[in-house]
Structure 1
């Protein structure tokens, strides 16, 4: 056997040559991904193009669908069609002169006058929701009745004029204001007259269901001695009134609160003799439980009454 024949025999006997490794197989997957991305971009580009003629035809068709045979305007006020993008907000005419000013007399419970923008007609009482107005009138009448009841009880006990009533957006306010009648200067001790006033008004205050805020105030004269500032003095005055109503007159403790405002909320600004007397006071505020929009109308309604 020759050498060449033996070599061929060994190759047939099981020796195999290694296959060639294909290092470019990733190109197949890459090309597939590129093809998919290209198809995606083509689809996105195609759907982003709007046929203007077909769009107008669709708009006119939908607009006609909301109209009858009389060719009246579209049901969407302020536009010629449903898809033209025109604003549907009506234009307003700016107020001129004093017609655009709202004061407390207009029944909106606002202090001073504020500029407003109006449409065809000036703001008036007729613009108020009738249900809100009716509720405000009912609440105003209730507060007026409460004021008359307390005033009558005070007058029957010789205390007429010792309490100054007012009605604001919070409710009925009983102002215990008098020179040395309720509190002496720089003192939180109640006088006998102050206790009598609370005892006479107490049954009415206890009988109602509203919350009551007892608010202490002081004038601008700095205090000395027991109280470091007017804050402590005004708070002590409110607390003394609260304690008398709870401990003597039977007021439920969960319905009453006390707060001191120092000299920050004067009835009369300045340091005149009248201001010093008026601002040394305690206010009993019967807090109305009516909604805010109702309470806002009450002061003007009671002022008219």
Structure 2
């Protein structure tokens, strides 16, 4: 009889052992239903308060508490890439339209022998031959060229602003005057002085403009003839896009 009572007590203890995990499961289910209900609500503030309260109880490193508010958008990598491609396409269309406007200005002012434009993956570049801006051996912008600089400054204004780099280039003939010690010196001073003309436009932000001088070291033609040397003496204005341009360059 005593044995039966002992076995009965042991069975009762074993039968009650399932209550603890069952209670935990019910608690988790209750928390899940509360969260699902909160997610169906449009009140993001209440959702965050609820999440914080429950997080203090459930301290697991991962789980339902880590999901964002229903009003917060999750952008997958694919969508982010698509948005970037769309922005890049808009940027390309804007630069194409800008190039067309500049080309029309060049044509209407009979500047085709002095100014050219080129659109590449780096951006939109305006090339100005040096005799349109400077006297031989000088870095001072000619008075008659000042208006040209003012007009170009209007073209490079944009919202949002784009970075613009002005670079000076020379031919390989050594310079012989007291003002400039080398072609490098001359080229960088020409870039700086032309940039100063552009910055007379108050709509341009100075921190988006920079000047460089390359001297004779980035020629676009052989320096074997006077005509080719004239091509190498130039100032380039590169308008850099805010997004990478996808242009097939051959």
TM-score, normalization: structure 1? Answer: 0.49
Tell me which residue corresponds to 1:231.
Answer: 184
Distance in 2 between the 1:171 and 1:185 partners? 29
Which residue of the partner structure matches residue 268 of structure 1? 221
Q: Which residue of 1 aligns with 2:124?
A: 172
Deviations 1:45-87 (A, max 9, x none): xxxxxxxxxxxxxxxxxxxxxxxxxxxxxxxxxxxxxxxxxxx
- 1:247 is paired with a residue whose SS is coil
Bigger proportion of residues as helix: 2
For residue 136 of structure 2, the aligned residue among 185, 194, 204 is: 185
Q: What's the Cα RMSD here?
A: 2.5
Question: What is the aligned partner in structure 2 of residue 257 from structure 1?
Answer: 210
Unaligned runs of 5+ in 1: 1-128
Question: Shift of residue 165 of structure 1?
Answer: 0.2
When residues 249 and 188 of structure 1 are mapped into structure 2, their CA distance, relative to the original with a 3 A threshold, is farther
Q: Which structure: larger Rg? A: 1
Distance in 2 (CA, whole Å) between partners of 1:240 and 1:249 is: 16
Note closer, same or farther for the CA distance 1:186–1:137 as it changes in structure 2 (3 Å cut): same
Higher relative contact order (CA 8 A, sep 6+): 2
Matched, 1:200 2:147: no
Gaps of 5+ in 2: 1-80
C-alpha distance in structure 2 between counterparts of 1:216 and 1:299, whole Å? 27
Deviation at 1:285, TM superposition (A): 0.4
| 1:241 aligned residue | 194
1:235 Cα deviation after fit:
0.4
Note the C-alpha offset of 1:250.
Answer: 4.8
Deviation at 1:193, TM superposition (A): 4.0
Counterpart for residue 51 of structure 2: none
Q: Partners in 2 of 1:248 and 1:190 — Cα distance?
A: 16
Provide TM-score, normalisation by structure 2. Answer: 0.59
Aligned to 1:75: none
CA deviation after TM superposition for structure 1 residue 286, in Å:
0.2
For the 8 Å contact 2:172–2:216, the answer to whether it is kept is: yes
Whole-angstrom CA distance in 1 between matches of 2:239 and 2:222: 24
Structure 1 residues 219 and 168, CA, compared in 2 at 3 Å: closer, same or farther?
A: same
Q: 1:249, CA displacement in angstroms?
A: 5.9
Q: What is the Cα deviation at residue 151 of structure 1?
A: 2.6
Distance (Å, rounded) in 2 between the aligned partners of 1:187 and 1:210: 29
The answer to whether the 8 Å contact 2:187/2:214 transfers is yes
**What does 1:1-305 align with in structure 2 at a 5 Å threshold?**
137-156=89-108, 158-161=109-112, 162-177=114-129, 180-208=131-159, 209-225=161-177, 226-247=179-200, 250-291=203-244, 295=245, 297-298=246-247, 300=249
Provide the C-alpha distance between the structure 1 equivalents of 2:120 and 2:232, rounded to a whole number of angstroms: 18
After superposition, the C-alpha distances for 1:242-272 in whole angstroms (9 at most, x for unaligned) are: 1111135653211111111111111112332
Q: Is the 8 A contact 2:152 2:198 kept in 1?
A: no
Cα distance in 2 between the residues matched to 1:279 and 1:131 = 40
Are 1:210 and 1:286, in contact at CA under 8 Å, matched by a contact in 2? yes
- CA distance in 2 between partners of 1:144 and 1:138 (Å): 10
Partners of 2:171 and 2:223 within 8 A in 1: no
Query: Which stretch of the first structure deviates more once superposed, 263-272 or 214-223?
Result: 263-272
